[in-house]
Structure 1
Amino acid sequence: MMTADVSAAKVAAAQNGDRKALEEVLSSVEDLIHSLARRILVNPEDAREATQEILIQILTKLSTFRNESAFSTWAYQVAVRYLIAAKKHRDRNLGLTFEMFAADLETGLISDPPEAPDQALLLNELRISCTMAMLLCLSLDLRLAYVLGDVFELDHLEASKILELTPATFRKRLSRARASVEAFTSRHCGLVASEAKCRCPRRLPAAIKGGRIQAGTYPNSAESRMEYAQTRRQIDAVVDDLKTFKLQRSVPSHACPDDIRMRLRRILSPEL
């Protein structure tokens, strides 16, 4: 994930009370923060709440930014500290493991499923929801390393700074997370492994029946630029050790919701 950082002069102006500069500084990280919250927390409402609270923290802590790193790096640090410390989100952690997730994926599979209305949209939602949920099987420290290092493709020095780790520790965490995700997908995901039992069309009826996927509601795939069939073709086209990477990178970057943007603008401009 590439970031367009604001200039040091713009941040300094915002720290000195320039409202327009403050809005531009905030705008530069809103989508980054929401995308991080979505990949770490997965649940859309949890991510919305976390995004708003993190952005408010960025506003209130802005005076502490010392221009010792890129502004986006500092903003990510604020976000990571919040995500690690937020007890209310930890308490909702499902305690999911790769073994539990594999068993769930293989429950209720149908060999020759009927085609549902909006089949293409539903398959894409299922594909993205499953790809995101898979990362909940990682511990939070490994999940953060994996998302920053492999999903967002941040430079390892920047990622280690964000996580406040030594580069060597970050690389170890990333390696462990990557190995776990690749091992799981190579055994259980039909998009990556032709011999895997679970395939999105076979899984879709059970996902609909269980209420995990609903026609007309696509919270995870609404911003996706790739359809299920296109994603499958792209994954098929790469060599085996890149298939998991391609699958995780095919999840869209979720933009910050407009209502959160407006709420923050009202904080900046109470007269609006």
Structure 2
Amino acid sequence: MSERTGTEAADSLVTGPDPEELRLVARAVDGDQAALREVIGRLQDPLYRLALRMVGRPPDAEDAVQEILLRVVTRLSTWRGEAKLLTWAYRVGVNYLLNLRRRSPQEQEQIGLDDFRADLADGLAAADYEGPEAALLAEEVRLSCTQGMLQCLVREERVVFVLGEIFELKAAEAAWILGTTPAACQKRLERVKQRLGTFLRSTCGVVEPKASCRCPRRVDKARALGRVDLDNPAFTAHPVSPGGRGVAEAAAQIHRLRDAAAVLRAHPDYAAPQAKIDAITGLLTSGRFPLLE
């Protein structure tokens, strides 16, 4: 008997679906529109959060999650229960996001963590911002900044960190999504964690009190650069999933843990924009789109 490959071994460690998931998807594949809507409802917010962490900005994530959901739904009949439905959907989403032609501003300009550190030092105020909505703007800076840090990683590094450290998936599950082995996945994750940890400890005052950068001291510069907008904050005013973690709960996690991973993980449980989801659900259930082939 031949030795199994590492990927096959990872497959055997991934938790499969429960019977209810299998029945739900079978109904959707058979044309039950209510079941299809439920499948979309279960997947839309986690897939949106995956897209947002990978592309950085809500408008780009909105476009990406629509494309990912199209791919997921039209491939539902190929799902055989080899992993949980969401795990399988993550695999579809990751494949799309790694091959996305559109590049974030950091990707276009090839900005790395050293460049990002220099950018943060430029225009850092001597004192905290104390103008209108000071707390909200400081939190918007933090959320925007941590998104920017992720964009400084190449996509293959970014997705490993997102799956393993932000979504806290086990190595076997992340490896299955990425089509690699748990050992290879864990090795890459440790390298990325080390790089980000070094960067944050040398730069971020949230992680290291002696570091120079403070979110309240970046407000004026961030506003001048158009990175935060008091009238239209991208992250602090972003809708969250029903019952999900809001901005305050996410920020509290940092102060409990005070480590590099917590700073990058501590975002609200963002919800996919419902208008976009309604539009794509309407398309998928209209009969005008080749469903479930």
TM-score, structure 2 normalization: 0.84
Q: Quickly say closer, same or farther: Cα 1:234–1:152, change in 2 above 3 A.
A: closer
In the TM superposition, residue 114 of structure 1 has moved relative to its aligned partner by: 4.6
State the aligned residue count: 263
Matched, 1:140 2:155: yes
Please give the alpha-carbon distance, in whole angstroms, between the structure 1 residues aligned to 2:201 and 2:105.
30
Matched, 1:19 2:33: yes
Please give the alpha-carbon distance, in whole angstroms, between the structure 2 residues aligned to 1:42 and 1:107.
21
Pairwise CA RMSD: 2.1
Please give the alpha-carbon distance, in whole angstroms, between the structure 2 residues aligned to 1:143 and 1:105.
20
Q: Which residue of 2 aligns with 1:253?
A: 269
Q: Which residue of 1 aligns with 2:13?
A: none
In the TM superposition, residue 51 of structure 1 has moved relative to its aligned partner by: 0.5
Please give the alpha-carbon distance, in whole angstroms, between the structure 1 residues aligned to 2:51 and 2:253.
26
Comparing 242-251 with 53-62, greater Cα deviation is found at: 242-251
In the TM superposition, residue 76 of structure 1 has moved relative to its aligned partner by: 0.5
Query: Does structure 2 conserve the Cα–Cα contact (< 8 Å) formed by 1:190 and 1:197?
Result: yes
Equivalent residue letter for 1:260:
K
Matched, 1:118 2:137: no
Q: Which residue of 2 aligns with 1:108?
A: 123
Query: Does structure 1 conserve the Cα–Cα contact (< 8 Å) formed by 2:228 and 2:234?
Result: no
Superposition pairs of residues 65-144 of structure 1, within 5 angstroms: 65-89=79-103, 93-94=107-108, 95-144=110-159
- Percent identity over the alignment? 37
Secondary structure (helix, strand or coil) at the match of 1:7 reads: helix
Superposition pairs of residues 99-248 of structure 1, within 5 angstroms: 99-223=114-238, 225-227=246-248, 231=251, 235-238=254-257, 243-248=259-264
Unmatched segments (≥5 aa) in structure 2: 1-16, 239-244, 288-293
Secondary structure (helix, strand or coil) at the match of 2:130 reads: coil
Q: Which residue of 2 aligns with 1:44?
A: 58
Please give the alpha-carbon distance, in whole angstroms, between the structure 1 residues aligned to 2:49 and 2:36.
21
Please give the alpha-carbon distance, in whole angstroms, between the structure 1 residues aligned to 2:166 and 2:73.
26
Equivalent residue letter for 1:261:
I
Moved over 4 A (4+): none
In the TM superposition, residue 188 of structure 1 has moved relative to its aligned partner by: 0.3
Please give the alpha-carbon distance, in whole angstroms, between the structure 2 residues aligned to 1:265 and 1:57.
13
Deviations 1:128-163 (A, max 9, x none): 110111111111111101000010001211111001
In the TM superposition, residue 90 of structure 1 has moved relative to its aligned partner by: 6.9
Q: Quickly say closer, same or farther: Cα 1:267–1:99, change in 2 above 3 A.
A: same
In the TM superposition, residue 214 of structure 1 has moved relative to its aligned partner by: 1.2
Q: Quickly say closer, same or farther: Cα 1:178–1:114, change in 2 above 3 A.
A: closer
In the TM superposition, residue 216 of structure 1 has moved relative to its aligned partner by: 2.0
Equivalent residue letter for 2:68:
I
